[in-house]
Amino acid sequence: MKPLEILHIATTRWLTLRDALERILELWPGLQDYFEAYGTESEKKYFSADNEGSLELLVKKISENFQRDDLFFNERGICGMQS
């Protein structure tokens, strides 16, 4: 696989969770090949179709619920919807 580069530096890390998970999914085939060749039995089991599907669902849910433009964050990290 072609090595990937850093996309951008984020000031608020948890807001980039979706992007990080999408990168993992992009790298999934290469990671799967690597761990099948060099990983332990438990690492090999991780790369199942069910786990890949779960990551895809998580990305979708994060996109729907936490990456919306109408959310705001106060000084205590609590989020709500702007009115």
Query: What does each of the 83 residues of the chain score in pLDDT, given as a tens digit?
Result: 777 777 766 665 555 777 888 888 899 999 999 999 999 998 999 889 999 999 899 888 877 776 555 656 555 555 555 54
Domain that holds residue 67: 13-81
Would you tell me how many other CB atoms lie within 10 Å of the CB of residue 59? 19
Split into its structural domains, the chain has a count of 1
Contact 56, 15 (CB under 8 A): no
- The reply to whether 5 falls in a domain is no
Tell me how far apart the alpha carbons of residues 60 and 23 are, in angstroms, rounded to a whole number. Answer: 14
pLDDT value of residue 70: 60
Tell me how far apart the alpha carbons of residues 49 and 13 are, in angstroms, rounded to a whole number. Answer: 28
Tell me how far apart the alpha carbons of residues 57 and 35 are, in angstroms, rounded to a whole number. Answer: 23
Residue of 18, 20, 21 whose CA lies nearest to 62: 18
- The reply to whether 6 falls in a domain is no
pLDDT value of residue 14: 55
- The reply to whether 7 falls in a domain is no
pLDDT value of residue 40: 94
Q: Taking all residues of the chain, what is their mean pLDDT, rounded to a whole number?
A: 77
